[in-house]
Amino acid sequence: MVRRAQNGDAEAFAELIEDQYDRIYRTAWRWCGNGHDAEDIAQDVCVRLGAALQSFDGRSAFSRWVYRITLNMVRDWQRAGRRRGAHVDAYAEIAPTEEAATQEDAATSSQLWAAVRNLPEKQRDAVLLVYAEEMSHAQAAEIMGIKEATVSFHVHEARKTLRGLL
């Protein structure tokens, strides 16, 4: 399907977008924290995919390549917000995958994710990919464009920082 879209098949491209759109939107929402901005980012990703599709070389899975483009668009959105002077809390809505059993657990979880939002960018990205997105260190490394050992280092450093903060 990717090859057909690269060769100009509009139906194949539409099918690729349809297959990936939920993942794009969900990822954008998780990283930016609200639906309106996630929709804008998802639309921008789809436009960028149309322009960049020819550069996809198949060395990684198409979904990983789309994920990387989505994260880059989120970062662009964050930078644009900072330039405008807007306070951008890109991780405001991130929560653990399971509902907290008690109010105390919920408060602790909220404090944890607030602390994650304050980590340096590489540590924050590694933690969110590994824990919020439930990726392996190898998968996170592919997305971040770094070595697996570097992801492990960022996660380790983030844990030490979070331990000190909490």
Identify the domain boundary among 55, 83, 111: 83
Question: Measuring CA to CA, how many Å separate 60 from each of 47, 63, 158?
Answer: 21, 8, 27
pLDDT in tens, 16-32: 999 999 989 988 887 77
- Mean pLDDT in residue range 87-96: 47
Predicted confidence (pLDDT) per residue in 112-128, tens digit: 877 887 788 899 889 98
* Per-residue pLDDT at 143: 87
Question: Does residue 141 surpass a pLDDT of 90?
Answer: yes
Residue 18 falls inside a structural domain: yes
Q: Looking at the 3D structure of the chain, how many domains does it have? A: 2
Separation of alpha carbons 166 and 162, rounded Å: 6
* In-domain check, residue 96: no
The predicted model scores a pTM of: 0.67
DSSP state at residue 93: T
Domain that holds residue 33: 2-83
12 and 45 in a single domain? The answer is yes
| Domain finish residue from 83, 118, 139 | 83
Whether the Cβ atoms of residue 64 and residue 142 lie closer than 8 Å to each other: yes
